[in-house]
Amino acid sequence: MDEFKLSQIHFDVLREVGNIGAGNALTSLSKMLERKVDMSVPVVSMVSFDEVSNFIGGPENIVAGILVNLSADVNGIMMFLTEQKYCRPLVEELFGSTGLLAGSVGLDEVVLSALQEVGNILAGAYLTSLAELINKKILLSAPSICIDMAGAILSVPAIEFSKVADQVLFIESVFATDEMDVSGYFILVPDFESFKTIFTSLGV
Q: β-strand 62-72 against 138-140: which pairing, if any?
A: antiparallel
Please state the domain count of the chain. 1
Runs of H (alpha helix) within the chain: 8-33, 49-55, 84-95, 109-134, 150-161, 192-201
In a domain, 189, yes or no: yes
Condensed to tens digits (0 to 9), the pLDDT of residues 97-112 reads 666 776 667 778 888 8
Q: Identify the residue with better confidence: 113 or 22.
A: 113
1 in a structural domain: no
Domain holding 148: CATH number? 3.40.1550.10
Identify the CA nearest to 77 among candidates 177, 190, 203, 196.
190
Q: How does pLDDT run across 41-51, given as a tens digit for each residue? A: 778 787 887 78
Q: Establish if 79 belongs to a structural domain.
A: yes
User: Is residue 106 in some structural domain?
Assistant: yes
In a domain, 3, yes or no: no
Is 12 inside any structural domain?
Answer: yes
In a domain, 173, yes or no: yes
